């Protein structure tokens, strides 16, 4: 059965069709991957490095077409889509070069003739979400293939087309069966991957609820798991925060990039009472400059939400906030008011007056709105920021780096940013989430390590 992939900015446009595979079809693909592993795992690292570089070169030449397809199925502005693809390509180049040094056996202790050697694990399943489909697929696929594994990749059915196109290009450089894409539903295709004995490693990026299910099912065959899950990131704005134009622009970007459909977006702001009015005023002005429209239009700075279920969820949260008596300050401009109803468009909003137990504070909204809450005491602000099952990212906005560093020690997050939020300047420095946000590190050698077994050899 085919399912339509619809442009979220233009419902009348069917961007493509995705085949919803049966369990038996996935079984066949797994068998091919299993067979391909036998030969691919024995190739030299230099050979695999070479193939990755060739694939990266071809992806770079196809970048403009892939980016356009990405925007049409996902909704995010072209510039943001290009960044996701470019990062995947850079990653392939970096991994291709890291692989050579990483593959060398390590001498553990010169006084003992024991070597730590590495070998690939087998078939790897990569399961990815719809919000950044290309990057969050290939960030896992590339190190898995580089280390000699075969991969079965399952993208989200809402936007699998750019992922399929990237895989088609990469596959020109790989033997058949090394990189496979299976499409379809989570409960059928995803669960087959999670329970099949031939799959030895799973790299999952998605919601905490699905991650929990994969951990349960994966435990039956003791799979090695990589888990990057949901988040509800807090930003703390201290009494001495610098709220100049640059800082407010960075904060706005950290809230509204991807229309808020980003795991590491700022999802709650705690601001010192003395700076509350000023922050609301400055963010209001900044949100007002946002232009919401089709991601392919040059003027657009924020695209639509990706799909109906996310759109309904976000509108429901806004409605619920209004009904609870909260102030919803709707900002921004509609690029094309006439066709507004033809896409999953939502204007950005600031939500004022929320308490800790309101849903807009408790849950991962994954939409273009943020609650702003005030505090008087920094200890209290840290406790409120930590009052969540999640632990992806957090940020401290203050003139004093020392204070930010001291608070970072106590904020329960995989990374804490000072006057910024989300991504470090060096895009390849990453840290895993903590608590129910997951547990897997995937930058540089850590990524390669995840897809390999280390074994000892000696007398």
Segment interacting with ligand NAD (CB under 6 A) among 19-27, 54-62, 75-83, 223-231: 223-231
Nearer to ligand NAD, 55 or 263 (CB): 263
Q: Which of 45, 75, 122, 230 binds ligand NAD (CB under 6 A)?
A: 230
Q: Per DSSP, which regions of 275-425 are E strands?
A: 291-292, 327-330, 333-334, 349-352, 369-375, 393-397, 415-418
Cβ 84 to ligand NAD, closest distance in Å? 11
Query: Which one, 136 or 296, has the nearer CB to ligand NAD?
Result: 136
Annotate each residue in 140-159 with x if it binds ligand NAD (CB under 6 A) or - if it does not, as one string. --------------x-x---
Footprint (CB under 6 A) of ligand NAD, residues 361-420: 364, 366, 392
**What are the backbone dihedrals phi and psi of residue 333, each rounded to the nearest 5 degrees, phi first?**
-125, 150
Write each residue from 27 to 66 as x if it is in contact with ligand NAD (CB under 6 A), else as -, in one continuous string.
----------------------------------------
Distances (CA, A) of 46 to 36, 100, 141, 423: 18, 7, 18, 31
User: Active-site residue among 228, 364, 378, 412?
Assistant: 228
Nearer to ligand NAD by C-beta: 128 or 201? Answer: 128
Q: Confirm whether 228 is a catalytic residue.
A: yes
Q: How far apart are CA 143 and CA 176, in angstroms?
A: 18
Query: Of the two residues 177 and 184, which places its CB atom closer to ligand NAD in the complex?
Result: 184
Write down the least CB distance from residue 249 to ligand NAD, Å: 23
Question: For residues 220 and 72, what is the distance between their CA atoms, to the nearest angstrom?
Answer: 39
Site string for ligand NAD, 234-263 (x = CB under 6 A): -----------------------------x
What does the alpha-carbon distance between residue 330 and residue 352 come to, in Å, rounded to a whole number? Answer: 11
Secondary structure in 3-state letters for 418-446: ECCCCCCCCCCCCCCCCHHHECCCCCCHH
Contact set for ligand NAD, span 276-305 (CB under 6 A) = none
Distance of alpha carbon 333 from alpha carbon 231, whole angstroms: 28
The pairing of strands 349-352 and 369-375 is parallel
**What secondary structure letter does DSSP report for 105?**
P
* Structural contact between residues 207 and 230, judged by C-beta atoms closer than 8 angstroms: yes
If the CB atoms of residues 205 and 321 are measured against ligand NAD, the closer one turns out to be: 205
**One residue of 173, 213, 333, 410 binding ligand NAD per CB under 6 A:** 213
Q: Which of 344, 334, 359 is nearest to 310 (CA)?
A: 344
Distance of alpha carbon 90 from alpha carbon 81, whole angstroms? 14
Name which of 313 and 418 has its Cβ closer to ligand NAD: 313
For 270, the token pair is: 């705690």
Q: How many residues does the chain have?
A: 459
Instruction: Name which of 205, 262, 231, 253 is nearest 362 in CA terms.
Output: 231
Asked whether position 214 contacts ligand NAD by CB under 6 A, the answer is: yes
**CA angle, 310 then 305 then 425, to 5°:** 110
CB of 131 to ligand NAD, least distance (A): 5
Cβ closer to ligand NAD: 371 or 391? 391
What contacts 78, CB < 8 A, 6 or more positions away? 67, 68, 71, 295, 296
* 263 among known catalytic residues: yes
Who contacts 217 (Cβ-Cβ below 8 Å, separation ≥6)?
191, 194, 195
Tell me the chain's radius of gyration from C-alpha atoms: 23
Q: Which is nearer to ligand NAD, 263 or 407 (CB)?
A: 263
Quote the least distance from Cβ 223 to ligand NAD, whole Å: 12
Q: State the Cα–Cα distance between residues 253 and 282, nearest whole angstrom.
A: 14
Selected from 40, 70, 130, 417, the binder of ligand NAD by CB under 6 A is 130
Residues 182-211 that bind ligand NAD (CB under 6 A): 186-187, 190-191, 194, 205-207, 210
Selected range binding ligand NAD among 58-66, 97-105, 397-405, 430-438, rule: CB under 6 A: 430-438
Q: Least CB distance from residue 211 to ligand NAD, whole Å? A: 7
Q: Which of 80, 228, 233, 378 binds ligand NAD (CB under 6 A)?
A: 228
Catalytic residue among 166, 263, 378, 430: 263
Question: Shortest distance, CB of residue 313 to ligand NAD, whole angstroms?
Answer: 10
Give the interface segment with ligand NAD, choosing from 42-50, 126-134, 421-429, 440-448 (CB under 6 A).
Answer: 126-134
CB atoms within 10 A of CB 380: 11
The DSSP H or E segment spanning 311 is helix 308-323
Tokens of 403: 């204070």
Which residues participate in catalysis according to the annotation?
Answer: 228, 263
Q: Which residues bind ligand NAD (CB under 6 A)?
A: 127-132, 136, 154, 156, 186-187, 190-191, 194, 205-207, 210, 213-214, 228-231, 263, 364, 366, 392, 433, 437-438
């Amino acid at each position: 059965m085919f399912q339509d992939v619809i442009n979220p900015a233009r419902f009348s446009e069917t961007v493509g069709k995705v085949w919803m595979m049966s369990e038996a079809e996935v079984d066949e693909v797994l068998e091919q991957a299993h067979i391909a592993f036998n030969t691919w795992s024995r190739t030299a690292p230099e050979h695999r490095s070479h193939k990755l570089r060739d694939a990266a070169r071809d992806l770079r030449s196809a970048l403009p077409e892939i980016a356009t397809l990405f925007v049409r199925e996902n909704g995010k502005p072209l510039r943001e889509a290009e960044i996701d693809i470019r990062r995947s390509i850079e990653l392939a180049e970096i991994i291709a070069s890291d692989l050579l040094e990483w593959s060398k056996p390590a001498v553990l202790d010169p006084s003992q003739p024991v070597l730590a050697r590495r070998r690939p694990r087998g078939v790897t399943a990569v399961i990815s979400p719809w919000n950044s489909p290309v990057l969050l697929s290939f960030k896992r696929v590339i190190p898995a293939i580089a280390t000699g594994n075969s991969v079965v990749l399952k993208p989200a059915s809402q936007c699998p087309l750019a992922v399929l196109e990237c895989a088609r290009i990469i596959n020109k450089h790989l033997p058949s069966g090394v990189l496979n894409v299976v499409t379809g539903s989570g409960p059928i295709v995803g669960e087959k991957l999670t329970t099949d004995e031939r799959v030895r490693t799973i790299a999952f990026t998605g919601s905490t609820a699905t991650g929990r299910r994969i951990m349960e099912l994966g435990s039956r065959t003791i799979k090695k798991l990589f888990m990057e899950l949901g988040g509800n990131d807090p930003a703390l704005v201290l009494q001495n925060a610098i709220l100049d134009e640059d800082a407010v622009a960075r904060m706005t970007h950290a809230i509204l990039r991807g229309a808020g459909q980003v795991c590491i977006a700022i999802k709650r702001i705690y601001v010192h009472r003395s700076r509350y009015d000023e922050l609301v005023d400055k963010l209001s002005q900044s949100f007002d400059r946002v232009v919401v429209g089709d991601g392919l239009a040059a003027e657009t700075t924020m695209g639509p939400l990706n799909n109906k279920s996310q759109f309904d969820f976000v509108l429901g949260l806004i409605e619920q906030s209004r009904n609870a008596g909260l102030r919803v300050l709707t900002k921004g401009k509609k690029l094309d008011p006439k066709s507004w109803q033809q896409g999953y468009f939502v204007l950005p909003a600031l939500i004022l007056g929320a308490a800790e137990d309101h849903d807009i504070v408790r849950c991962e909204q994954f939409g273009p709105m943020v609650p702003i809450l005030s505090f008087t005491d920094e200890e209290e602000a840290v406790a409120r920021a930590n009052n969540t099952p999640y632990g992806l990212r957090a940020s401290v906005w203050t003139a004093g780096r020392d204070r930010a560093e001291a608070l970072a020690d106590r904020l329960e997050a995989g990374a804490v940013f000072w006057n910024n939020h989300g991504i470090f300047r060096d895009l390849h420095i990453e840290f895993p989430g903590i608590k129910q946000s997951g547990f897997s590190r995937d930058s540089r050698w850590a990524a390669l390590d995840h897809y390999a077994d280390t074994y000892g050899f000696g007398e």
